[in-house]
């Protein structure tokens, strides 16, 4: 019997976990769960006899792969796979997939939850501002960016986007204006929403130089990855400029310092919450389960990323 392990330090909603279990049971697979683990050794032990793995932001390193001699496939139930050592997986003959688009609406909705919270001064009773009429710049127009654009229209925002990897026509088809370079995006918008993956090109790319292009009073929203921010530059820029606001679903390493010095100008969720909805968990979890079954039964490798 093929053994699947669902290893989620941040567990899926119960309704999603139940559906994943039932899909595997119906297919005649065994499905175990390792949830809320706090020690890497728990993961190393649990993967020992796993042939397939479903994960979220859980780190799949060479060490984990070495501890999983039977492993054939890892599916990251979500979009970003920077938590998986792809080269090591390939060297171990392990296929890695993601489930693009399945949790993107949840992340996009959180962008607006955080923007409203910030615009209304953390609900502290003082007079805030509205999103209507403000200009929103979407940095990278993938599945989340597209959903952000759709929701922004409902708020009455003007939406522009920068993404050199997406054809202009695809962005314009959504009624979004294409901006040709990053500097123009950063200098012209009241809100910038980041949707870039963490790659060697993007890590620490949001640096002092780029931040200094932003409009007075503008807000940077990060539901992507903390690694794309140059955190030292961010702190320095906060100190040099007294209007930039930074709200993020992935707290920076210097969170305590930022919050102590600039409590009104930043906000961080206590844990990465973007994809943490029942719907996103169901969509991504079911997609992951089905991808594993079609891989074993039919050799289908759609959404392979290595």
Q: Which two tokens stand for residue 143?
A: 């599945």
The DSSP bridge pattern shows strands 3-8 and 30-35 to be parallel
* Residues whose CB falls within 8 Å of the CB of residue 288, separated by 6 or more in sequence, listed in order: 20, 54, 75, 76, 77, 97, 99
Total binding residues toward ligand 3PG, as defined by CB under 6 A: 11
In the complex, the smallest distance separating the C-beta of residue 57 from ligand 3PG, rounded to whole angstroms, is 3
DSSP labels, 185-218? HHHH-SEEEE-----TTTTT-B-HHHHTTSPTT-
Q: List the beta bridge partners of residue 60.
A: 84
CA separation for the pair 141, 147 (Å, rounded): 9
The footprint of ligand 3PG on residues 67-96 (CB under 6 A) is: 78-80
Q: Which of 114, 138, 275, 292 binds ligand 3PG (CB under 6 A)?
A: 275
221 binds ligand 3PG (CB under 6 A): no
Instruction: State in angstroms the smallest separation of the CB of 144 from ligand 3PG.
Output: 8
Q: Segment near ligand 3PG (CB under 6 A), from 88-96, 187-195, 268-276, 296-304? A: 268-276
- Per CB under 6 A, 142 contacts ligand 3PG: no
Using the rule CB under 6 A, is 272 a contact of ligand 3PG? yes
- Regarding 100 and contact with ligand 3PG (CB under 6 A), the answer is no
The bridge status of strand 52-55 relative to strand 3-8 is parallel
Tell me: does residue 57 bind ligand 3PG (CB under 6 A): yes
Name residues whose C-beta falls within 8 Å of residue 27's C-beta, 6 or more positions apart in sequence.
293, 297
Closest distance between ligand 3PG and the C-beta of residue 127, in Å? 34
Smallest distance, Å, CB 274 to ligand 3PG? Answer: 5
Six-digit token string for 255: 């969170």
What is the chain's alpha carbon radius of gyration, rounded to the nearest angstrom? 20
Q: Is 2 in the site for ligand 3PG (CB under 6 A)?
A: no
Q: Does 105 bind ligand 3PG (CB under 6 A)?
A: no
By C-beta, is 57 or 147 nearer to ligand 3PG? 57
Which phi and psi angles does 270 have, rounded to 5°?
-65, -25
Given the complex with ligand 3PG, which of 163 and 190 has the nearer CB atom? 163
Q: Does 226 bind ligand 3PG (CB under 6 A)?
A: no
Residue nearest ligand 3PG (C-beta atom)? 78
- The least distance separating ligand 3PG from the CB of residue 180, rounded to whole angstroms, comes to 27
* Smallest separation, CB 257 to ligand 3PG (Å): 24
Q: What is the Cα–Cα distance from 249 to 265, expressed in whole angstroms? A: 15
Q: Which is nearer to ligand 3PG, 80 or 137 (CB)?
A: 80
Angle ∠(195,223,198) on CA atoms, nearest 5:
55
- Minimum distance, C-beta of residue 285 to ligand 3PG, in the bound complex (Å): 10
As measured in angstroms, the least distance from the Cβ of 291 to ligand 3PG is 14
- Alpha-carbon distance of 257 to 169, in angstroms, equals 43
Q: Provide the 8-state DSSP code for 48.
A: G
Residues that bind ligand 3PG (CB under 6 A): 10, 56-57, 78-80, 103, 272, 274-276
């Amino acid at each position: 019997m093929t053994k699947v392990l669902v290893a989620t330090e941040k567990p899926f909603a119960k309704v999603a976990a139940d559906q994943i279990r039932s899909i595997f049971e119906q297919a005649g697979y065994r499905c175990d769960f390792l949830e809320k683990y706090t020690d890497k050794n728990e993961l190393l032990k649990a993967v020992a006899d796993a042939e397939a793995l479903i994960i979220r932001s859980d780190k799949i390193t060479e060490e984990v792969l070495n501890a999983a001699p039977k492993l054939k496939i890892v599916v990251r139930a979500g979009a970003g796979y920077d938590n998986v050592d792809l080269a090591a997986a390939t060297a171990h003959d392990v296929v890695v997939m993601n489930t693009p688009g399945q949790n993107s609406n949840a992340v996009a909705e959180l962008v607006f939850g955080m923007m409203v919270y910030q615009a209304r001064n953390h609900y502290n009773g003082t007079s805030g501002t509205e999103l209507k009429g403000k200009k929103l710049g979407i940095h990278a127009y993938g599945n989340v960016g597209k959903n952000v654009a759709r929701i922004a229209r409902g708020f009455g925002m003007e939406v522009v986007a920068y993404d050199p990897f997406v054809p202009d026509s695809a962005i314009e088809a959504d009624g979004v204006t294409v901006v040709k370079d990053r500097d123009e995006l950063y200098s012209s918008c009241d809100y910038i929403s980041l949707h870039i993956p963490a790659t060697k090109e993007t890590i620490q790319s949001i640096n002092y130089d780029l931040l200094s292009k932003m409009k007075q009073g503008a807000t940077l929203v990060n539901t992507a990855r903390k690694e794309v921010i140059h955190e030292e530059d961010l702190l320095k820029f906060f100190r040099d400029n007294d209007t930039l606001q930074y709200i993020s679903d992935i707290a920076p390493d210097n969170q305590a310092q930022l919050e102590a010095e600039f409590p009104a100008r930043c906000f961080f969720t206590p844990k990465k919450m973007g994809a943490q909805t029942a719907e996103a968990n169901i969509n991504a979890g079911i997609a992951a389960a089905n991808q594993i079954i079609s891989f074993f039964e039919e050799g289908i490798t759609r959404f392979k990323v290595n």
